[in-house]
Structure formats: structure tokens, C-alpha cells
Amino acid sequence: MSDIPAETPRIARAYCPACEPDADTLQEILETQWCNVHMPIREGADDARVFSDAMLTGSAEAGGDENRRWCDIIHGDSHNRRRARR
């Protein structure tokens, strides 16, 4: 007996909205997959206007330095509040 499950059949049909604008989504399950000709652009005119000094990675601690700065601005400095309680 194998631990690998049998492959299930696909129930959705791939379609490109630009190639098939009249596809009936009520009659069948469709999975949007753009063709090479109609692939939407992934970069816009405003992308060059956005600047960020934060390095967004998944390895940072939750609530790291960037988030802590915003929390201090919005909620006040947490270190000052802890010292005031003592």
C-alpha cells in the first residue's frame, strides 16, 4: 500500500478571460489562467514612485522594529509606560 494519494481529477477548466469573454461561469467552474498574449502587466506607473527603507522578509520577529516604531507613534512609547508603572 502506498502513502501517496491517488491524483484527483480537476473539476475546474482553465480559461483566459480575454480569449473567452463569453465563458459562462454559472455553467462550469473556471480557473483564470491568462494566455501569453493577454497576460496583464505586473508593474504599473506608480511602482517607481514608492520608496521604502524597510526590508520586508519572513525571517523577522513578529512585531519587529518597523512595527514597534508605528506602535510607539500611535499608542505612545511602551518603555515609558512600563517605567511609569513601577
Q: What is the pTM of this model?
A: 0.41
Report the C-alpha gap between 1 and 24 in whole angstroms. Answer: 42
Predicted local distance difference test score (pLDDT) of residue 3: 79
Using one digit for the tens of pLDDT, what is the confidence trace for 28-50? 999 999 999 999 888 777 777 77
Buried b (16+ CB within 10 A) or exposed e, 9-41: eeeeeebbeeeeeeeeeeeeebeeeeeeeeeee
Q: What is the DSSP letter of 75?
A: H
Q: Which three cell numbers stand for residue 75?
A: 499608542
Per DSSP, the three-state class of 30 is strand
